[in-house]
Amino acid sequence: MTHLPFIAAAYAVAVLLPAGYAVAALHRLRLARRRLAALDPRGAP
């Protein structure tokens, strides 16, 4: 029996989990900027 599936799964988790967090953070940032633009009449950068 080889350990290759477990190693591949570990690398997949190590790549996909931070990528998912990054996508979620970008989504929250975009939402926050949209909310700020709605509240501040001067506009957000």
Q: With respect to residue 44, please indicate whether it lies within any of the assigned structural domains.
A: no
Summarised one tens digit per residue, pLDDT across range 8-17 is 999 999 999 9
Domain residue limits at 9: 1-39
**Quick one: pLDDT at residue 44?**
53
- Cβ(37)–Cβ(44) under 8 Å? yes
Can you give the pTM of this predicted structure? 0.71
- Asked if residue 33 is part of any domain, the answer here is yes
Distance from C-alpha of 11 to C-alpha of 35, rounded to nearest angstrom:
37
DSSP string computed for 1-45:
--SHHHHHHHHHHHHHHHHHHHHHHHHHHHHHHHHHHHH-TT---
pLDDT digits (tens, 9 = 90+) for 1-45: 899 999 999 999 999 999 999 999 999 999 999 998 888 878 655
Question: For the chain, how many structural domains are there in total?
Answer: 1
Establish if 20 belongs to a structural domain: yes
- Asked if the structure places residue 11 within a domain, the reply is yes
